[in-house]
Copies of this chain bind each other. A is one copy, B any other.
Amino acid sequence: MLNQQYTNMLNEKDIIFEIFNYSQKRAKEIGAENVYDFSLGNPSVPAPSAVRSVMEEKLETLDPLSLHGYSPSLGIPEIREKIAADLNRRYGCHYTASNIFMTAGAAGALAHALRAVSNPGDEVLTIAPYFPEYKPYTAGAGLKLKVVPADTDTFQVPFEILEEMLTPAVSAILINSPNNPSGIVYSTPTIRRLAEILTRKSEEYGHTIFLISDEPYRDIIFSGTDSPYIANYYTDTITCYSFSKSISLPGERIGYLAVNPDSPYADRIIELCPQISRTTGHNGAASLLQHTVGDVCSMTSELSVYENNKNLLYQALTEYGYHCVEPGGTFYMFPRSPESDSMTFCKRAMEMDLMLVPGDNFGCPGHFRIAYCVPEERVKKALPVFRRLAESYR
């Protein structure tokens, strides 16, 4: 008997993937330059050239037995040390290597964080709009994902509903700022208030509610945006990071989990991580990649194209009459759909060869996601199509 749970998952359609497939098909029919694909969150700027030179240097200078050998189950100590130092330099924290666990991307980090601080049957809260993969991530850990509905005026945290939903069954809150799909960055007042509520509720319930902060977009912040380092505001924070977006290595599956050193559970959480790996088949991040990010963790790709695209799109779309909360980072934007059914809207866009993703899967219907990690030219060519699309609703 094949597995029933995973077989059921096959029946849920992956809309993003379907749109992308249609886009590929259209590209063959009418030429890629005539398809305005904004469906995928795949970095459009290459990794810094240092990635290549560092890899070549490691291949040249390190003994292959050591370079490609098993790393300790927590990751390579010197690399964890370098990552801690980089975080401390950037954000004024005081991590040490012992607070860092190397993972295969943010997905790996989240899989460990969720399992470490909860027990099967616990609830995890997230806030709409949210990354759809949080559903399988939590389901795989035996947890119940509860979604706090979006504040669609600001995409900050709707605190009143959050407080209501924050029952004693909740073991952790899972947030994503800068946010996929809204591009919004939680402000310092938002994070302060969230921390205050979590502290108060943890005391009231007599157990710690952990904050799991999913931060793959942390380095893509637009000018003038207030972007607090979240772990600095709440002691029991686990930060999940990936080098996918900041240095454009999404396929290399390299990231880490960092536990706030002030958490009384810091050491224990890190100790649990390798045990969790043993049950999921994770068994560490690739060693060459660990060695590489140790040397480039302070760098980023040339990220300015994303802010530039955001400016072009935000200005034009607002002018065309779309309602949109201005992103503070990422390479996403999440405007309100001109008709309440954003599926129908995205279908109409698709007929104009404009590939957008409906907000339903992000827990926020009536909106659509634009992934503008694309060449500037594609944005410019797409603007008239966005205009025609808006006009078709007048």
Q: Which positions in A face B, CB cutoff 8 Å?
A: 1-7, 9-10, 42-47, 51-52, 55-56, 59, 63-65, 67-71, 103-105, 107-112, 115-119, 122, 133, 136-137, 139-140, 171, 207, 248-254, 265, 268-269, 271-272, 275-276, 278-289
- Contact assessment for B279 and A282 in the assembled complex, using a CB-CB cutoff below 8 Å: no
24 A-B residue pairs with Cβ-Cβ distance under 8 Å, sorted by A, are A1-B118, A1-B119, A1-B122, A2-B265, A2-B268, A6-B115, A6-B272, A6-B279, A42-B69, A45-B65, A47-B64, A55-B55, A56-B56, A56-B59, A69-B251, A70-B250, A107-B283, A108-B282, A111-B280, A136-B275, A251-B284, A253-B283, A254-B286, A282-B282
Of B42, B272, B282, which contacts A104 at CB under 8 A?
Answer: B282
Of B7, B249, B280, which contacts A68 at CB under 8 A?
Answer: B249
Q: Which residue of B lies closest to A69 (CB)?
A: B251
With a CB–CB cut-off of 8 A, which chain B residues contact A253?
Answer: 104, 283-286
Nearest-neighbour CB distance to chain B for A105, whole angstroms, equals 6
Q: Which residue of B lies closest to A104 (CB)?
A: B104
- Contact assessment for A70 and B251 in the assembled complex, using a CB-CB cutoff below 8 Å: yes
With a CB–CB cut-off of 8 A, which chain B residues contact A268?
Answer: 2, 7
With a CB–CB cut-off of 8 A, which chain B residues contact A5?
Answer: 119
Of B70, B71, B271, which contacts A10 at CB under 8 A?
Answer: B271
Given A10-B272, A268-B2: A44 and B68 interface contact (C-beta under 8 Å): no
With a CB–CB cut-off of 8 A, which chain B residues contact A287?
Answer: 251-252
Complex Cα spacing A252 to B288, Å: 7
With a CB–CB cut-off of 8 A, which chain B residues contact A65?
Answer: 43-46, 248
Nearest-neighbour CB distance to chain B for A73, whole angstroms, equals 9
With a CB–CB cut-off of 8 A, which chain B residues contact A44?
Answer: 65
Complex Cα spacing A107 to B7, Å: 22
Nearest-neighbour CB distance to chain B for A55, whole angstroms, equals 6
Identical subunits present:
2
With a CB–CB cut-off of 8 A, which chain B residues contact A251?
Answer: 67-71, 284, 286-288
- Contact assessment for B59 and A281 in the assembled complex, using a CB-CB cutoff below 8 Å: no
Complex Cα spacing A59 to B60, Å: 13
Complex Cα spacing A117 to B1, Å: 6
Complex Cα spacing A119 to B110, Å: 24
Nearest-neighbour CB distance to chain B for A149, whole angstroms, equals 24
- Contact assessment for B111 and A281 in the assembled complex, using a CB-CB cutoff below 8 Å: yes
- Contact assessment for B278 and A280 in the assembled complex, using a CB-CB cutoff below 8 Å: no
- Contact assessment for B280 and A9 in the assembled complex, using a CB-CB cutoff below 8 Å: no
Nearest-neighbour CB distance to chain B for A3, whole angstroms, equals 6
- Top 8 A-B pairs, shortest CB-CB distance: A111-B281, A140-B279, A251-B287, A136-B278, A46-B64, A6-B275, A9-B275, A280-B280
Q: Which residue of B lies closest to A116 (CB)?
A: B3
With a CB–CB cut-off of 8 A, which chain B residues contact A111?
Answer: 280-281
Complex Cα spacing A285 to B108, Å: 12
With a CB–CB cut-off of 8 A, which chain B residues contact A122?
Answer: 1
- Contact assessment for B69 and A250 in the assembled complex, using a CB-CB cutoff below 8 Å: yes
- Contact assessment for A137 and B104 in the assembled complex, using a CB-CB cutoff below 8 Å: no
Supply 4 further A-B pairs (C-beta < 8 A) apart from A46-B63, A71-B251, A107-B282.
Answer: A42-B70, A136-B278, A140-B280, A286-B288
Nearest-neighbour CB distance to chain B for A107, whole angstroms, equals 4
With a CB–CB cut-off of 8 A, which chain B residues contact A133?
Answer: 278
Q: Which residue of B lies closest to A251 (CB)?
A: B287
Complex Cα spacing A288 to B286, Å: 10
Given A6-B115, A6-B276, A42-B69: A1 and B281 interface contact (C-beta under 8 Å): no
